[in-house]
Structure 1
Amino acid sequence: MNSRVLDEFHVPENVSGNFKAKCKHCESYISGSTKATSNFLTHVKRKHRDAYLRVIEIKKEDLGQSKISTFARGTTKYSSNDPNQQQITDSLVHFIAGDLQPLSIVDSKYFQNLLGKLNPKYQFPSRKHLSTKLIPEKSTEIRNELKGNLAKAISVCLTIDIWSNRQMRGFLGITGHYIHEWQMKSVMICCKRFKGKHSAENIRHEYEDTVSSYDIYEKITCIISDNAANMVKAFDFALPGFEEEQKSFDDESESDGEDNC
């Protein structure tokens, strides 16, 4: 019997006889009793290596024996669901995306050596796992957060530009600006490949596709771009909610014209 292993479970109060306890490291419920803890120990040994080593180490200390870490070879790595593993991985994704680092940095032996010195128990994600799972998940998380913030904005001003790189591949960028709690916020809501001709129709289509995905079409009060002919033509329309103001402006212009005659 190893009662120390029960510290790794949420044990019901005032238990007597058999009971079920929920593992603190996962969602599993394990059956056992205070007198027979083998099921709990087996679960921890199979699923949560770090917790198992901690339980065994405590047991060795209680018996006045040497710590198991003295005999362990190498360093036990974090499991994928360990909070420390997840926290470091999240920071790694932020570092790569926020500083525009290449995905290949996780394959660099020098970078791995650096983080290995800082925390030998951390397991590096593969480049494939990073590109197919971790970054897309973080992108979705940030996009949902941004969408929620824009939903709170009363009005949004946009700046839009389109350009080509050295390989003549087109890219469209749209930045949103709004006030939240008396502070100016600027966010990138679109930066993507722009395929096909840079015509006014194509620009307008990509613009409408972007603003509709964030559900901010009715909140846009101003669009700023350069004076290229395709840009001017793409946004040569009255913004939502400004039709009456435009009409009033036109009426005033006509009145001024009559007075000058």
Structure 2
Amino acid sequence: MARKRGSEIWNFMEKGVGGDTAMCLICKCQFKYSKGSTSNLLKHVRTKHQLQFEGNFQEPSTSREPVTVETAARAMTQPTLAFAVDRNKLYPRDSARKRELDQLVLRMVTRDLQPISVVENEGFRDLMKSMNPRYKLPNRKKLGNELLVARYKEVKALLKAELFTATDVCVTTDMTSRQTSGYITVTAHYILPSWELRSAVLATTRMTDDHTASNIASTLKETFDDWGIADKIVAVVTDNAANMVSAVNDFLKARHLPCFAHTLNLVVKDALKRNGEIQNVLTRVKAIVRYFHTSVEAVDRLKDMQQKKKQLINDVEIRWTSTIQMLRRYIGLHKEVTAVLVMLSKGHMCVCVCQAWMWRK
């Protein structure tokens, strides 16, 4: 038996206060109607919302369709209008589900180091809308100025409470530059009462003034005071830069320890420079690496001559281990590199066999 359309229409409509008006739940249009007659409402749904109409009304029929596995399955999977309308209705701003999803988006941004602007990317917004049409992503301003700030305050309070339980704190700090801006990062290392070793980055602060020992010390002190660890610091580890050493020793009056990795790097670099034969090989290999990094043709030919498609790598001045990695990669590709240089009339750049194989010892 067909369903009565007079009653079914109220899955689409909502009665007004006076009882003589109705509002479409899909498009929010207002209509007048006479009690007992809903033909105009039905016409609106049939013409304006045909897909929903066909999915929720049956045409009158004198015979009843026999119940089969197919018809039962179709009835179970066919969405009702109430569900179709509800699944497109946005979560209220203050609802628990909206807050939960906002926090998950914030967690993705912070855990995966994504830019805050990811919530404005068209592809990401389409993905979220497809997965949950009821959820509206927070905009960039809300995510950065509200949600992220609130979460930062929560995490900072928890970390402060943890640092309060530590009796001693060791600090490591280093500076870096991006274009014309300098930044200093402070990391605390401490042991909990449960004998669990912990490390936490406390701050990365932009240095707006000159990088003098006095200014560095002032920035460090502000960070120490902010986190309540000024009277717990047993040592401050930095590189061997004169301004960093002076900031700790002369201004903070704290115990300074030089970074072991930085000190070892200085020792190794100095030793390499004192050996003329080694320095000659390094100079030639670096020149070859620079050439391959600037020549598309050379790189393509080098790839064509290999099966594993490896590339030459350059070293980094502040990491002596990168020099070893550069030489190891060159030795592994020595034959191929030499062949490419000869083909491109760059034979004068080649490293002789005896020099290359000397590094295998």
Alignment TM-score, normalising by the size of structure 1? 0.62
Distance 2:84 2:161 in 1: 52
- What letter matches 1:141 in structure 2? E
Please give the per-residue CA displacement for 1:135-166, whole angstroms capped at 9, x wherever unaligned: 1111111111111111111111100111211x
Please give the per-residue CA displacement for 1:176-199, whole angstroms capped at 9, x wherever unaligned: 111122221110101121111100
Aligned partner of 1:125 in structure 2 is: 138
Query: Does 2:184 align with 1:176?
Result: no
Structure 2 CA distance for aligned equivalents of residues 235 and 192 of structure 1: 17
Say which one has the larger Rg. Answer: 2
Alignment of structure 1 residues 118-197 onto 2, 5 Å: 118-165=131-178, 167-180=179-192, 181-197=194-210
Distance 1:175 1:70, change over 3 A: closer
**1:33-112 equivalent positions in 2, closer than 5 A:** 69=82, 72=85, 75-112=88-125
| In structure 2, C-alpha distance between the alignment counterparts of 1:127 and 1:91, rounded to whole Å | 15
What residue is the counterpart of 2:221 in the other structure? Answer: 208
SS of the aligned residue for 1:72 comes to: helix
Any gaps of 5 or more consecutive residues in structure 2?
Answer: 1-78, 256-361
3-state SS of paired residue (1:160): strand
Which residue identity lines up with residue 239 of structure 1 in the other structure? A
| 1:120-148 C-alpha deviation (Å, 9 max, x unpaired) | 22111111111221111111111111111
**Taking structure 2 as the reference length, what is the TM-score of the superposition?**
0.46
Offset, 1:68:
5.4
Deviation at 1:95, TM superposition (A): 1.4
Helix, strand or coil at the partner of 1:93: helix
Change in 2 beyond 3 A, CA 1:153/1:67: same
Decide which of 233, 239, 253 is 1:226's aligned counterpart: 239
| Structure 1 residue 71, shift from structure 2 partner | 6.6
Name whichever structure is richer in helix by fraction: 2
Deviation at 1:119, TM superposition (A): 2.3
2:126 is aligned, of 113, 119, 125, to: 113
SS of 2:85's equivalent in the other structure is coil
Which whole-Å CA distance do the structure 1 matches of 2:160 and 2:100 have between them? 24
Q: Give CA-to-partner distance per residue, 1:24-60, whole Å, 9 cap, x none.
A: xxxxxxxxxxxxxxxxxxxxxxxxxxxxxxxxxxxxx
8 Å CA contact 2:87–2:133 kept in 1: the answer is no
Shift of 1:73: 7.4
Distance 1:91 1:221 in 2: 38
5+ unaligned residues in a row in structure 1: which ranges?
A: 1-65, 241-261
Distance change (3 Å), C-alpha of 1:73 and 1:221: closer
2: distance between equivalents of 1:90 and 1:73?
23
1:82 Cα deviation after fit: 1.4
CA distance in structure 2 between the partners assigned to 1:71 and 1:239 by the alignment: 67
In the alignment, the residues of structure 2 paired with residue 206 and residue 234 of structure 1 have an alpha-carbon distance, to the nearest angstrom, of 10
Contact 2:211 2:243 in 1 (8 A): yes
In the alignment, the residues of structure 1 paired with residue 204 and residue 223 of structure 2 have an alpha-carbon distance, to the nearest angstrom, of 10
Which one has the bigger strand percentage? 1
Moved over 4 A (4+): none
Change (3 A) 1:199 1:69: same
Fraction of identical pairs, as percent? 30
Partner in structure 2 of residue 239 of structure 1: 254
Bigger relative contact order, structure 1 or 2 (CA pairs below 8 A, ≥6 apart): 1
SS of the residue aligned with 2:236? strand
CA distance in 2, matches of 1:115, 1:152: 42
